Chains A and B, each alone.
Chain A
Amino acid sequence: MKFWIGVAVTVALATGLALSRTNEYFFYAGFVVLQFVVLATAWNILGGYAGYVNFGTAAFFGIGAYTAVVLFKAAGAPLALQILAAAAISGLLGFGTGLLTLRLRGIFFSIATVAVIFIMETAMVNWRYVGGATGMQLLRPPVMEPFESYTRMLFVAMAILALVAVSIARYIEVSWIGRGLRAIRDSEEAAECFGVPTLRLKLFACTVSGALMGAAGAAMPMYMSFIEPPSSFSLTYSVSALAMPMIGGTSHWLGPVIGAILLGSVQQIVTVTISSEINVLVVGVLLVVFVVAAPDGILGLLKKLGWLLRSSR
Chain B
Amino acid sequence: MSKRFGGFAALSEVSLEVAAGERFGLIGPNGSGKTTLINCVSGALRNEAGSIAFRGEEISRLAAYQRTRRGIARSFQIPRPFHSMSVLENLVVPLGYVVRLNDADARAEALRILQTIGLADKAQTPSNRLSQVELRKLELARAMAARPRLLISDEAMAGLAGNEVEEVLKILFALNATGITIIMIEHIMQAVMRFSQRVICLDAGRIICEGTPADIVKNADVQRAYLGA
Give the B-binding residues of A (Cβ under 8 A). 176, 179-180, 182-183, 185-187, 189-199, 251
Q: Could you tell me the distance between the alpha carbons of A193 and B89 in the complex, rounded to whole angstroms?
A: 16
A180-B97 in contact given A193-B42, A193-B68, A194-B142 (Cβ < 8 Å) = yes
Q: Is the CB of A179 within 8 A of B89?
A: yes
Q: Is the CB of A192 within 8 A of B97?
A: no
Q: Is the CB of B63 within 8 A of A197?
A: yes
Among A190, A193, A195, A251, which residue has its beta carbon within 8 angstroms of that of B84? Answer: A251
Q: Is B81 an interface residue (CB 8 A)?
A: yes
Q: Is the CB of A185 within 8 A of B84?
A: yes
Residue of A176, A189, A195, A196 with most partner-chain B CB within 10 A? A195
A196-B80 in contact given A182-B85, A186-B85, A189-B44 (Cβ < 8 Å) = no
A194-B76 in contact given A179-B89, A179-B92 (Cβ < 8 Å) = no
Q: Is B69 an interface residue (CB 8 A)?
A: yes
Min CB gap A304→B, angstroms: 13
Chain A residues contacting B29 (CB-CB under 8 Å) are none
Among A186, A191, A197, which residue has its beta carbon within 8 angstroms of that of B83? Answer: A186
A196-B85 in contact given A189-B44, A189-B80, A190-B76 (Cβ < 8 Å) = no
Chain A residues contacting B85 (CB-CB under 8 Å) are 179, 182-183, 186
Chain B residues contacting A199 (CB-CB under 8 Å) are 63
Min CB gap B104→A, angstroms: 13
Contact with A along B178-212 (1 / 0, CB 8 A): 00000000000000000000000000000000000
Chain A residues contacting B81 (CB-CB under 8 Å) are 186-187, 190
A182-B82 in contact given A192-B44, A194-B142 (Cβ < 8 Å) = yes
Among A180, A186, A192, which residue has its beta carbon within 8 angstroms of that of B64? Answer: A192
Min CB gap A177→B, angstroms: 10
Min CB gap A216→B, angstroms: 28
Q: Is B93 an interface residue (CB 8 A)?
A: yes
Q: Is the CB of B68 within 8 A of A194?
A: yes
Q: Is the CB of B97 within 8 A of A196?
A: yes
Among A182, A187, A195, which residue has its beta carbon within 8 angstroms of that of B98? Answer: A195
Q: Is B23 an interface residue (CB 8 A)?
A: no
Min CB gap A116→B, angstroms: 26
Q: Is B74 an interface residue (CB 8 A)?
A: yes
Residue in chain B with minimal CB distance to A197? B65
Among B80, B103, B145, which residue has its beta carbon within 8 angstroms of that of A190? Answer: B80
Q: Could you tell me the distance between the alpha carbons of A179 and B93 in the complex, rounded to whole angstroms?
A: 7
Chain A residues contacting B96 (CB-CB under 8 Å) are 176, 179
> Which 9 pairs, one residue from A and one from B, show the smallest C-beta to C-beta distance?
A195-B97, A195-B98, A186-B82, A190-B80, A194-B94, A187-B80, A192-B64, A195-B68, A183-B82
A sample of 7 cross-chain residue pairs with beta-carbon separation below 8 angstroms, ordered by A number, consists of: A179-B92, A183-B82, A192-B65, A193-B42, A194-B65, A194-B97, A195-B68
Q: Is the CB of B76 within 8 A of A192?
A: no
Min CB gap A171→B, angstroms: 14
Q: Could you tell me the distance between the alpha carbons of A176 and B107 in the complex, rounded to whole angstroms?
A: 13
